[in-house]
Amino acid sequence: MNDDGFINLNKPSGMTSHDAVNHVRRIFSTRKVGHAGTLDPMAEGVLPIAINRATKFIEYLDGDKTYRAEILFGVATDSGDLEGSVIARAEDFIMPTIGDLNAALQSFVGEIEQTPPKFSAIKIHGRKAYDLARKDIAFDMPSRRVKVYQLELIALDKESATIEVDCGKGTYVRSLAIDIGERLNLPATLKSLVRLRAGGFDLKNSLTLDDIKNIGADCLLPIEEALNHLPRFELDERRVKAFMNGLPTTLRLADENSLRVFAGGKFLGIGRIEGGELRASKIIA
């Protein structure tokens, strides 16, 4: 197949993102398959998958995400979820009130400093952190600035709380669960996680692997539609060859980092405007 585009996959719990990509490779008989925003094996929900030429444009997808997470209080694990080993436990603890939980949640809204879990795919000196952690190799996990737009308490029971998180790229909900527990003076870990949205990909419109197998190429979202959060620019058709060859086009427009560039209704790729000149950043051909 020479099909290009994105798939809104509903990844099931228990499957790695890498395994999901391999399933799609077999369905479409192509090696050129990639995913945006890794989902942990225990997590489920939206996993955008790129096919063929769409893999070149993964970096331009909207990085904002929405999650529904269940936080288990009274226990902490080394991985930040139930797949890890227990490292702390609180017996007969008093569950926080709705007011206490809401106050704790609001303290994490905004731009915050977060330390990703050691059991993650982040590279440390060229090696994945989880490989080092599994071998009990000591290392420091660097913190990072991430954005949390909204945190909402959805449900509460005797030992856990379910929240919805709107956040920016690079936010780890496992770390957020641990930090919320610390704010409430309780050990905490992530019990379950569902990604409801990744940029313009929504769980309501997602497809299972069986759906994809049955529908085939008709399930592909065109590259330009997956990038519709970026401004659209119509290029004079006389400048198409220049654009595709990396030559600048002079424009009297303000600088713009990323634009979807079209000519005659056809998507050409991503361009940028700097100093009054339009140049190609990534072309479709």
Residue 271 burial (CB < 10 Å; 0-12/13-18/19+)?
Answer: buried
CB-based contacts of 92: which residues, under 8 Å, 6+ apart? none
pLDDT tens string 114-172:
987 777 677 777 777 777 777 777 777 788 899 999 999 999 999 999 999 999 999 99
Domains, the chain: 5-61+200-226 (3.30.2350.10), 65-195 (3.30.2350.10), 232-283 (2.30.130.60)
User: Could you give the 3-state DSSP secondary structure of residue 172?
Assistant: coil
- Is the pTM for the entire model greater than 0.85? yes
pLDDT at 131: 74
Q: Is the pLDDT of residue 189 over 80?
A: yes
Closest CA to 204 of 21, 42, 10: 10
pLDDT tens string 239-275:
999 999 999 999 988 999 999 999 999 999 999 999 9
- The widest CA-to-CA distance across the chain, in whole angstroms, is 74
189, 77 Cβ separation under 8 angstroms = yes
pLDDT tens string 34-87:
999 899 999 999 999 999 999 999 999 999 999 999 999 999 998 899 998 999
pLDDT tens string 265-278:
999 999 999 999 99
Computed over every residue of the chain, the mean pLDDT equals: 93
Strand ranges, E, within the chain: 5-11, 33-35, 44-51, 65-73, 75-77, 86-89, 110-114, 123-124, 127-128, 144-156, 160-167, 188-198, 201-202, 232-234, 249-250, 256-263, 266-274, 277-283
pLDDT band for position 1 (cuts 50, 70, 90): very low
Q: Tokens in use for 204?
A: 């309501």
Catalytic residues: 40
